[in-house]
Amino acid sequence: MALFRRFGKKNQSLFGLDITSTAVKILELKKTDKSFRVESYAVEPLPLSAVVEKTITDVDAVAQSIRRAVKRSGTKSRQAVVAVPASASISKVVSVPMAATDQELLVSVQYMAEDFIPYPLEEVSLDFEVIGPTEGNPDNLDVLVAACRTSDVDVRKEALTNAGISPVIVDVESYAMENAFSLIADHLPENLQTVAVVDIGATVTTLNIMHNRKIIYTREQAFGGRLLTEEIQRKYGLSYEEAGMAKRQGGLPESYVTELLHHFKETLVQQVSRSLQFYYANHQKKTVGHIVLAGGSASITGIDELIESSIGIPTSIANPFADMSLSRGIKAQVLGNDAPALMVACGLALRSFD
């Protein structure tokens, strides 16, 4: 779903660029005979408050981090796919009359969109994808419409442009997650229809319910790994950067596990359980048969086992690179540690092959 596209050469290499609250993540893939190869990737921290609740507040700081990430990754590409958060977008399936031309279809979609988009259409970036004939009405088409305020697109475009990168496609994070999920779905049990993908970011945890590999429900809530980082910072008198590094690389006192980590893990389980309860209370009752954990906090040792034992649903850690080869210079262990946090970047990188 491309909300903004600069049409260029079809086969030009693109990389996925995920801008989160704490980091810029770059991932470039190449197609191989059997699957894909991870060509380049990098994760570059962002200054505090450069992105607040997925809203870019300091364009220059984000641009500088993008520039550093591009250099560290070694990619030769200067064209990227980026995404707006699901919370900043509106998606809806509408039924419109069958049209003879794309222009006629666009007019019908825009007319229907006025009913559910709470902004003037001139302030909105909009795209749509035809699903197929409307059930019970063959003269109509079901169309998936996605839209967000143009200002949300423009601020990302500005950050990339200031970093010397051309923003070829602006996607939606939830659809990027759906793209990446296609890479891990085959590793899940057979005949599994409904899966919950829980993306635990720094400040926001997003629940995506996948049914037959398509998103049917998305919910965001304010909870993430930054809470643990800030607790480490206060408890041990570290800077925010030192606390984050200690959380990832170790070196904290033995009491850290019982004093801080155990409580955070228990709270995380409660957040996942609460999100699932909201899904069951407010959506069609498609029973979740598996949980996939993504995001930085998915790498916490034993968190999958704790969620599985507490909630009673089989749980695994996302790794979209399981079947991929790696370019020289990319360390498998390092990429494996980062894999759960690279799901959105991976889904965006896959757009290079559309």
Contact predicate 275/199, CB 8 Å: no
Residues 85-132 pLDDT 10s: 988 999 888 998 888 688 888 888 888 889 899 989 899 998 888 888
**Nearest C-alpha neighbor of 49 from the set 60, 33, 41, 34:** 60
At 7 the pLDDT is 38
Same domain membership, residue 194 and residue 93? no
Contact predicate 335/41, CB 8 Å: yes
Indicate whether 3 pLDDT > 90: no
- Residue 68 burial (C-beta neighbours within 10 Å; 0-12, 13-18, 19+): middle
Residues 34-66 pLDDT 10s: 899 999 999 999 998 899 988 999 999 999 999
Question: What are the two backbone dihedrals, phi and then psi, of residue 295, each rounded to the nearest 5 degrees?
Answer: 90, 170
Same domain membership, residue 308 and residue 213? yes
Compute how many other C-beta atoms are within 10 angstroms of the C-beta atom of residue 230.
13
Query: Does residue 59 belong to any structural domain of this protein?
Result: no
Q: How far apart are the C-alpha atoms of 217 and 8, rounded to whole Å?
A: 33
Same domain membership, residue 209 and residue 293? yes
| 146 bridge partner residues | 91, 127
At 205 the pLDDT is 94
3 DSSP 8-state letter: S
**Residue type (1 letter), 65:** S
pLDDT band at 6 (very low <50, low <70, confident <90, very high): very low
Same domain membership, residue 291 and residue 201? yes
Q: How far apart are the first and last CA of the chain?
A: 11
CATH of the domain at 138: 3.30.1490.300
CATH of the domain at 203: 3.30.420.40
**Residue type (1 letter), 348:** L
Same domain membership, residue 268 and residue 195? yes
Same domain membership, residue 295 and residue 212? yes
Query: Does residue 77 belong to any structural domain of this protein?
Result: no
Residues 143-173 pLDDT 10s: 989 999 999 999 999 999 999 999 999 999 9
Q: How far apart are the C-alpha atoms of 198 and 321, rounded to whole Å?
A: 18
Q: Which two tokens stand for residue 47?
A: 């200054």
Same domain membership, residue 200 and residue 306? yes
Q: Which two tokens stand for residue 189?
A: 């049990």
Query: Does residue 255 belong to any structural domain of this protein?
Result: yes
**Nearest C-alpha neighbor of 347 from the set 25, 44, 116, 33:** 25
Contact predicate 27/58, CB 8 Å: no
Same domain membership, residue 210 and residue 137? no
At 9 the pLDDT is 47
> Considering only 11-15, 206-210, 218-222, 292-296, which range has the smallest mean pLDDT?
11-15
Same domain membership, residue 269 and residue 197? yes
Indicate whether 4 pLDDT > 70: no
Query: Does residue 329 belong to any structural domain of this protein?
Result: no
SS3 184: helix
DSSP 274-309: HHHHHHHHHS------EEEEESGGGGSTTHHHHHHH
**Domain tally, the chain:** 2
Query: Does residue 333 belong to any structural domain of this protein?
Result: no
| 218 bridge partner residues | 208
Q: Which two tokens stand for residue 272?
A: 């996942």
Same domain membership, residue 224 and residue 272? yes
Same domain membership, residue 194 and residue 304? yes
Contact predicate 315/290, CB 8 Å: yes
Indicate whether 5 pLDDT > 80: no
User: Which position has the higher pLDDT, 207 or 191?
Assistant: 207
Helix, strand, coil distribution of the chain in percent, nearest 5: 40, 30, 30
Query: Does residue 53 belong to any structural domain of this protein?
Result: no
Domain limits at 114? 88-150
Averaged pLDDT for residues 328-345: 94
Q: How far apart are the C-alpha atoms of 14 and 351, rounded to whole Å?
A: 8
Same domain membership, residue 208 and residue 274? yes
At 2 the pLDDT is 56
Of 280, 295, 313, which closes a domain? 313
Mean pLDDT for the chain overall: 91
Query: Does residue 80 belong to any structural domain of this protein?
Result: no
Query: Does residue 305 belong to any structural domain of this protein?
Result: yes
